[in-house]
Structures are given as structure tokens and as C-alpha cells.
Amino acid sequence: MSDRHRPVSIPVVTGPTASGKSQLAHELARRTGAEIISADSRQIYRDMTIGTAKPDTGMLSEVPYHFIDERDITQEFSAGDFAAEALRRIETIIGREKPVIVVGGSTLYIQGLLEGFSDLPEKNPAIRKRLEEEYRTIGGETLYERLRDCDPRQAATLDPTKSQRLIRSLEIIEITGKTVTELHRQRKRPPEHLKFYPLALDMPREKLYRRIEQRTDLMIEQGLVTEAEKLYTRYRELLPQSPPNALMTVGYKELFQYLDGEVTLEQAVRLIKQHTRNYAKRQLTFFKNRSNVDWIAAPDDRNSSKRTIELLSQRFFPA
């Protein structure tokens, strides 16, 4: 077997939001000299820093990161885009004889990387504009029923409020004559020599929820309201009808409600905490339904973190 196609072990550090996966992956990368592939669908966007819990400037100077601050907010970047580009970069990193660590909790990104991705068509502006107008005039429920009639399996992965995915699913049907489910059956699989090992961090649910609340409070102290206000001012005209998908992120959309005068700041913060807990539940459901995920205890202090890093180093990057 050539060196180029020699099996390469790649840990994928994942789990629910606020479980500590980013810090663990960073420390593991520092120890092993690895480069990090960020599988976070929001950290790739510029100007969304506090609310997406991006690595700080110190961390970025210590370890090479990929998919951080690489897109403008109005540029869409799908799970398929990520999977294809991530595989290319992983091959390049391996070619430099460097280890690779994947870290993130965006389930579609993780799924696309581990299981393969589909070649989906480019957007059709005319079809999309018409579907967006239909969504506004006849409502998401009607479009959702249309999708359920054509592609019940894809419909089961979303609901009428997920306007971007709903419209995209219908758009794909009109462009290709095939459903998203049909196209997914033609997935491009990752190369066999790349051996991905998903590791999900586990902690008691009550502790996870406390960490979510504490992190939300810290984000507010760090200036999340000011960050959201700048985005609100810049994209205000787009928000009512066709907001960029990136701005529909928990932490920003609730503060946009506050800036619109719909809720108080205190109510917005409570909503951020609630919606983040809901997001963590969905992530846990996704990972618990995957039989190949290796659950490991999330480190809760410096000593347990050191032990975990030592074990992972020996397992994936033996000297």
C-alpha cells in the first residue's frame, strides 16, 4: 500500500453544545501538533464571534484551524460543501505529514463527512424566488405538505418553520426531477483510507444545562448584545423576509427580537438559554442514535482533562 493511501486515524470530537469539546480538541492538537477541522456550521462566518463561541485569538495562534471566519454571512455553505472541502483539506494536511482532528457539533456536517455527501444542484434564483414568495403568501404548512407528498423521508427531518431547508428541498425536486432522498442514495463516500472515529462527550444532563446557562451569561458579559446589534443594523432590510440562514442562529435571532421591541432583554436571554437547551437535546438524540459513536466522559477539571488527552494521544497518535 502506498503512503498516500495508508490508513489514517482521525478522531472526530463531538457532542452537545457547551460540553467542552472545543477546548479538549484544542489541547489534544497542541500536544500532538495536529491541525483542526472545525465542523461548526456557524463558526465559518465572519462577524459572528461571541455567539458562536469561536476559538479566541490565542487559540488560533497556537493551532492551525480550518473553516473559521472563511465566509461572509450572506454566502451559504452547505453540509455537502463542507464535506467535500473538508476531505480535500484533510488529504492536504496528511500530505504534510501532520495529524488531523475534527471537532464540532453540527450534526449535518458530521454526518456528511462520516457517511458521504450528495452532489446537489446549484441554486436556481427564479425557482427560489417563487418558492420564497409562496412561503410568505400561502405559508410553510402548505409547502411542507407538498414536500411530504413528494419526499416523506426528507420531510420527516424538518418542519414547516425550517423555511430554508424546506424551500431548498422543493427547489432540488424542481431542478433535478429527483428528491433529496433519491440523491442521498447516490452519496459520494469518503476514501477508505480515512478512518474516522466519532467521540461524543458525555455529562449529566443537569450539569450540561448549567453550563449552557453559565456560557450564555458569559456571552452577554462579553458583548453579545453589541455584536448582535451590529448585525441587526447591517442586515435589517433582509431580516423580515429573506434573512441569511446564518442569522437564524440561537443567540442572535432572540436578540433581534429584543432589538425589534418584541421582547425585553431579560426575556431574550431566557429564550437563548431555552433554545440552546433544546438544541443540545436534538444533538444528543442524533448522536445517541448512532451506534458507532464512542461516548467518553467530558473532563470536568484539569486533571481529568490531562488524563483524557493522554489516552486519546496514545490511541490515535502513538509516537
How far apart CA 290 and CA 75 sit, in angstroms, is 31
Please check the confidence at residue 2 and state whether its pLDDT lies above 60: no
Q: Within 13 A of 293's CA, how many CA atoms are on the CB side?
A: 21
Q: Of 73-77, 94-98, 276-280, where does mean pLDDT reach its minimum?
A: 73-77
What integer pLDDT is reported at residue 4 of this predicted model? 60
Q: What is the pLDDT of residues 39-51, one digit of tens each?
A: 999 999 999 999 9
For the segment 199-211, the average pLDDT, to the nearest whole number, is 97
What integer pLDDT is reported at residue 237 of this predicted model? 92
Measure CA of the first residue to CA of the last residue in the chain; give whole Å: 21
Q: What is the pLDDT of residues 117-170, one digit of tens each?
A: 877 888 898 999 999 999 999 999 999 999 999 999 999 888 898 888 899 999
For the segment 221-245, the average pLDDT, to the nearest whole number, is 93
What integer pLDDT is reported at residue 242 of this predicted model? 78
Cβ-contact 142, 153 below 8 angstroms: no
For the segment 199-207, the average pLDDT, to the nearest whole number, is 97
Cα angle 168-170-173, degrees, rounded to a multiple of 5: 110
Give percent of the chain with pLDDT exceeding 70: 98
In terms of Cβ atoms closer than 10 Å to its own Cβ (0-12, 13-18, 19+), residue 138 is: exposed
The reply to whether 304 sits in an annotated binding site is no
The reply to whether 18 sits in an annotated binding site is yes
How far apart CA 5 and CA 17 sit, in angstroms, is 34
The reply to whether 95 sits in an annotated binding site is no
Q: What is the pLDDT of residues 257-311, one digit of tens each?
A: 999 999 999 999 999 999 999 999 999 999 998 878 999 999 999 999 999 999 9
For the segment 76-85, the average pLDDT, to the nearest whole number, is 91
What integer pLDDT is reported at residue 158 of this predicted model? 87
Of 164 and 314, the one with more pLDDT: 314
Of 312 and 115, the one with more pLDDT: 312
How far apart CA 57 and CA 96 sit, in angstroms, is 24
The reply to whether 17 sits in an annotated binding site is yes
The reply to whether 298 sits in an annotated binding site is no
Threshold 0.75, pTM exceeds: yes
Which structural domains are found in the chain, ordered by start? 3-117+187-316 (3.40.50.300), 125-184 (1.10.20.140)
C-alpha cell of 64?
492551525
CA dihedral 106, 108, 111, 115 (to 10 degrees): -150
Please check the confidence at residue 3 and state whether its pLDDT lies above 70: no
Length of the chain: 319
What integer pLDDT is reported at residue 116 of this predicted model? 87
Three-state SS sequence of the chain: CCHHHCCEEEEEEECCCCCCHHHHHHHHHHHHCCEEEECCCCCCECCCCCCCCCCCHHHHHHCCEECCCCECCCCCCCHHHHHHHHHHHHHHHHHCCCCEEEECCCHHHHHHHHHCECCCCCCCHHHHHHHHHHHHHCCHHHHHHHHHHHCHHHHCCCCCCCHHHHHHHHHHHHHHCCCHHHHHCCCECCCCCEEEEEEEEECCHHHHHHHHHHHHHHHHHHCHHHHHHHHHHHHCCCCCCCCCHHHHCCCCHHHHHHHCCCCCHHHHHHHHHHHHHHHHHHHHHHHHCCCCCEEEECCCCHHHHHHHHHHHHHHHCCC
The reply to whether 79 sits in an annotated binding site is no
Please check the confidence at residue 241 and state whether its pLDDT lies above 90: no
Please check the confidence at residue 14 and state whether its pLDDT lies above 60: yes
Amino acid at 38: S
